[in-house]
Amino acid sequence: QVQVVESGGGLVQAGGSLRLSCAASARTFRIYPMAWFRQSPGKERELVAHIKWSGDSPSYADSVKGRFIISRDNAKNTMYLQMNSLKPEDTAVYYCAADSYSRVSSVAADYHYWGQGTQVTVSS
């Protein structure tokens, strides 16, 4: 049984902040949360950020650079996304992407395990 669970979404006003968490677990093998994606109505799922197992080389979409911070706690097998200075265009369902390989990719199809998503809505 595999579980990938996001939390922390909600409704905030523009300029506000939210902190998303993703905890990943499996009964018989390890999976690792590696990336955040988001999807808004009428758009394809897009990469928000990813981070290596070591915590090095965080990478961000241009649209969120300087505002979002991705991090991880390997002891808890948990990944975080601190979102600051939120804008209405950040409104989307945010998904945690995990895999049994501790590697990163910008391509959604490369990840084998996904959470159900957490809704982030930013009002103007």
For residues 4 and 96, give the distance between their C-alpha atoms in angstroms, rounded to a whole number. Answer: 7
pLDDT at 2: 94
For residues 43 and 80, give the distance between their C-alpha atoms in angstroms, rounded to a whole number. Answer: 23
The mean of the pLDDT values for the chain is 96
Both tokens of 89, joined, read 């265009």
Burial class (CB in 10 A: 0-12, 13-18, 19+), 43: exposed
Q: Which residues contact 109 (CB under 8 A, 6 or more apart)?
A: none
Q: Provide the 10 A C-beta neighbour count for residue 10.
A: 13
The rounded percent of the chain whose pLDDT value lies above 70 is 100
For residues 11 and 16, give the distance between their C-alpha atoms in angstroms, rounded to a whole number. Answer: 10
pLDDT digits (tens, 9 = 90+) for 61-89: 999 999 999 999 999 999 999 999 999 99
pLDDT at 118: 98
Mean pLDDT of 37-55: 95
pLDDT at 101: 86
pLDDT digits (tens, 9 = 90+) for 85-114: 999 999 999 999 999 988 899 999 999 999
For residues 54 and 111, give the distance between their C-alpha atoms in angstroms, rounded to a whole number. Answer: 18
pLDDT at 103: 84
